[in-house]
Amino acid sequence: MNDVIKKADVLVEALPYMRKFQGKTIVIKYGGNAMVNNKIKESVLEDITLLKYVGVNPVIVHGGGPVISETLDKFEIESEFYQGLRITTKEIMEIVEMVLVGKINKEIVSLANKFGSKAIGVCGKDGNLIEADDYELNSKNEVDLGYVGQVKEINSEILDKLIVDNFLPIVAPIGAGENGESYNINADLVAGHLAAALNADKLILLTNVEGILGDKNNNSSLISSLTIDEAKIMMNDKRIAGGMIPKVNSCINALENGVRRTHILDGRVPHALLLEIFTDRGIGTMVTK
């Protein structure tokens, strides 16, 4: 009986948050271990389905870096990165699009539907959702990133209609260039722009670490909350580096364009989304204005 009462207490604790977020849009970037570990993958999509059933409007943006790297290895094509971004030749772009749109997106859609969601997969070329152009590096180094893109414009009409019709949109981060060419866009950055365009209440980035660390070599130095200015200082000091840079830039862009809260969570923690949204005990790092 005590266990049953504890479960009831959890539901009561969640009630104010269910009221608060009912009808609100939450953009979730889904990647890292949450995508390659089958047990975690099922847990994340089950939690997102629960969000749908309590009246939240989740929108998923997925990555696929590990699967892309694995596929490139099979083709004996070397993966190169610069500032956390994959250098993408025309040949690599074809494989990236095949993996993200043709494989990963449809696998996520199928699994979400298994748990009762009305999931539908799109990429940035559908309905001209994501207009893109060449990614501009903030660097004097001459590095050709190839078909790495940045978001030029979000045309959210297709997502607005899917949300109204109670679908769960699952977005692959492929952008459309001016001449119809495909661009590989970092999923974290796409999630930030989509959150802003959809006037989302929250942006949540699932990753492979606990959050932002004060000392990147010390896993016990988790920072629970920091401001945009503090995050920029840490990037300038190179305490935030590598793959964490696009995540933090995504949070900053979202906050500067109207998103209320942004979170970087450890996707390896069971039910990380529910713990962050529906309990008094936040996890990971929250970036705020």
Point out the annotated binding site. 64-65, 86, 184
Residues 216 and 245: beta-carbon distance below 8 Å? no
Distance CA 144, CA 92 (A): 14
The rounded Cα 112 to chain-centroid distance in angstroms is: 16
Residues 57 and 23: beta-carbon distance below 8 Å? yes
Distance CA 273, CA 277 (A): 6
CA distances from 50 to 46, 47, 112, 252 (A): 6, 5, 11, 28
Q: Residue written as tokens 């790297």?
A: 69
Distance CA 265, CA 267 (A): 6
For residue 202, give the nearest of 170, 250, 154, 157 by alpha carbon: 250
Which residue ranges are tagged as binding site for substrate? 64-65, 86, 184
Write b or e for each residue in 209-246: b if 16 or more Cβ atoms lie within 10 A of its Cβ, otherwise e: bbbbbeebeeeeebbeebebeebeebbeeebbeebbbb
Find the helix packing angle between 105-114 and 38-53, rounded to 10°. 60
Residues 112 and 170: beta-carbon distance below 8 Å? yes
